[in-house]
Amino acid sequence: MATSDVVKDPAEKGNLKLIILIAVAVLLAIGLSVGATWYFVSSPKSEAAPVVDANIKLPAIYEPMAPAFVVNYNANGRQRYMQVSMTLQARDLNDLNALKVHMPVIRNNLVMLFSGQTFDDLATPVGQEILRQKATAAVQEVAQKELGKVVVDQVLFTNFVLQ
């Protein structure tokens, strides 16, 4: 009998089965991982509205408010007046169009705001900026009350005359 005809040791057969079993388990785990990844990546998304990144700013939309506001003041015994043209800056056209319905309330609130100022305060750039910020807050307040959202980013003074 030749040495090559000798039957292999039973311990070697057990090691070979163990190696094959481990290799099959590893291949099965890899296959399941790839399959699960492919399923979750390629599964159809829900038909819900697309998610908009909150960090992306939509382009500005400008809506002029016509006619210009004219307010009379009595300063040091002289009759004075202020004329201011304004434009609303917003980001959503639909919201801005919905706000236009409430323009009479907005104009009323702005006239009341403007007439409550003193001429001397408005004669300074700081006073004009404070008035612009108050006008923005007045418009945003109406939008929040009527539409449930701010809508207008800011009010811009496009013409400001004191005389």
Q: Would you kindly state where each structural domain of the chain is located, as residue ranges?
A: 10-42, 61-162
* 29 Cβ neighbours under 8 A, 6+ residues apart: none
The pair of structure tokens assigned to 68 is 């210009």
User: Residue 14 — very low, low, confident or very high, per pLDDT cuts 50/70/90?
Assistant: confident
| C-alpha span between 137 and 131 (Å, rounded) | 10
What pLDDT, on the 0 to 100 scale, is given for residue 93?
A: 93
The pair of structure tokens assigned to 118 is 């003193």
Mean pLDDT, all residues of the chain: 86
What pLDDT, on the 0 to 100 scale, is given for residue 36?
A: 74
User: What is the reported pTM?
Assistant: 0.64
Above pLDDT 90, what percent of the chain? 61
Residue pLDDT, tens place only, 84-108: 999 999 999 999 999 999 999 999 9
